[in-house]
Amino acid sequence: MCSVVNLRDPLIGVPGRRDPGLYNVRMSAPTTGAPAIRRATLGNGLTVLVRELRTAPLASVWCWYRVGSKDEGPGLTGASHFVEHMNFKGSTNIPRDQMKGLVERFGGTWNGYTWVDQTAYFETASRDALDRMLFIEAERMGHCLYAPEDCEAERTVIISELKGGENDPDQLLEIELTAAAFKAHPYGHPTIGWLSDVQTMSRDDLYDHYRRYYTPNNAALVVVGDVDADDVCRRAEHHFGALAPVAAPPRTRTVEPAPLGERRVTVEREGTTAYVKLGWHAPAVDDPTFVPMLVLDAVLTGAKGLNVWSSFRGTPPQRRSRLYQALVERGLASAVSGALISTEQPFLYTISITVNEGVDAADAERAATVAIDQVPANGLEDHEVERARRQLAARFVFENESVTDIAHQIGLFETVSTVETFMAMPARLAAVTRADVEAVARERLAPARRTVGRFTPLPSSGVSAGAAP
């Protein structure tokens, strides 16, 4: 095991740190019988959320920043994702080649991700590693270096990742569909950014983005596991208290205009499989119609739940869903799925169809739209709504089995709304009626409001993607 060079012992006082008493604490009262979540606000504005869970001697630490691809302007698309990469490249007190080892030596795991509303980092390890995990996140918040050579090396990595995504037909069609669905709101550009922006943004562009958004008053620290909430608050003050707040960064105010008719996009590229995607503008997580829309998706494609970190990795229970029966059981598609994500502002509800070989994509699209249009036209059956609610209730439980997943959900909802929204989800689900689901289908799924995308595979020409013909 190699030693950490110039690593300040996290148990030694931080020069100039704030008094541990300078934070306010309140309890979030759960609506589901789950243990309370402790909320503390440090003097510098950092939100600290702690849930004690003593099922195993583990702790999961997540640090969330309210910055994602929607906070990027022209020329800087992909900056939040690029910054996320750079923040694994070491800091003032953690050499770049030793950041991983600080967690792994405790048998832990770590990762991070960027999406439209947030950027998050986590470590899950033995509870004995709590101080080290907090130390890492405090260093990441205040002391990352952005060495020019690291920026250039990581640019190469991200461009490779971007081009790899463009070579995946399903992912490429998702990017094109989203861009077509939004003409004003920055939700329309991909999280990884457009290639020319990634190629040209400078080290100073990245560092300015980091310093603008990576501030304690724009972040939430979440700790779940075999910990004491009061102790976590004291440790958080110790590690983060000396970091200064800055003025609140600008926020997206653009409201996407309602579509005036159906939009269509066609992608043609070498491939072997055809894909169809349908998209509609969806409600934000705080909208009263969000949970009815979640039930509607479960009726159409199967219940997925709300955890974007883990719930979408497996196949949902869907054999009795309407689109599975209309497409897969009839041999038109090998797979169909839906996606409704918890977002701060109205995003997209998408349905993705993998067309079977030998089937015309137009036939698969037609069968899907007929099945979807029947809901606003003819309504639903009581048993469909009840089954969808039961399945979603079960998913809500399954997606909160580990300390990592629970911490993820607390932090995700704190960045797009509040943690109270997360805890109220079971009650909101229980209150959904068939009339609510039918109403949201009529409001949201009108043909004139949808965006349709098709990927048409072309035979191989022997020329690599992106090369001149």
Give 241's contacts (C-beta < 8 A, 6+ positions apart): 14, 17, 18, 20, 22, 42, 43, 44
Q: What is the C-alpha separation between 455 and 361, in angstroms, rounded?
A: 9
**Full-model pTM:** 0.90
Q: Which pLDDT value is given to residue 462? A: 61
CATH fold, domain 263-457, is Cytochrome Bc1 Complex; Chain A, domain 1 (3.30.830)
Closest alpha carbon to 80 in 109, 135, 134, 117? 117
Report yes or no: 225 and 127 within 8 Å, Cβ to Cβ: yes
- Phi/psi at 263 (nearest 5 deg)? -115, 145
The secondary structure element, H or E, covering residue 141 is: helix 130-142
Q: Which pLDDT value is given to residue 314? A: 65
Q: What is the C-alpha separation between 322 and 329, in angstroms, rounded?
A: 10
Q: Which pLDDT value is given to residue 68? A: 98
DSSP assignment of 19-30 equals PTT-EEEEEEPP
Looking at the chain, how many residues does it have? 469
- Phi/psi at 290 (nearest 5 deg)? -65, -50
Q: What is the C-alpha separation between 93 and 90, in angstroms, rounded?
A: 8
Q: Which pLDDT value is given to residue 313? A: 67
pLDDT-flagged residues of the chain (< 70): 1-35, 311-314, 462-469
Residue span(s) of the chain under CATH 3.30.830.10 come to 23-240, 263-457
- Outline where 241-360 has alpha helix (H): 290-301, 322-323
Q: Which residue has the tokens 């900056």?
A: 79
Give 5's contacts (C-beta < 8 A, 6+ positions apart): 95, 98
Q: Which pLDDT value is given to residue 2? A: 25
Give 55's contacts (C-beta < 8 A, 6+ positions apart): 226
Q: Which pLDDT value is given to residue 250? A: 87
Q: Which pLDDT value is given to residue 246? A: 95
CATH architecture assignment, domain 23-240: 2-Layer Sandwich (3.30)
Report yes or no: 452 and 263 within 8 Å, Cβ to Cβ: yes
Give pLDDT tens digits for 247-269.
988 899 999 999 999 999 999 99
Q: Work out the burial of residue 468: count CB atoms within 10 Å of its CB; fewer than 13 is exposed, 13-18 middle, 19 or more buried.
A: exposed
Integer CA distances (angstroms), 135 to 13, 63, 94, 310, 328, in order: 12, 11, 10, 26, 50
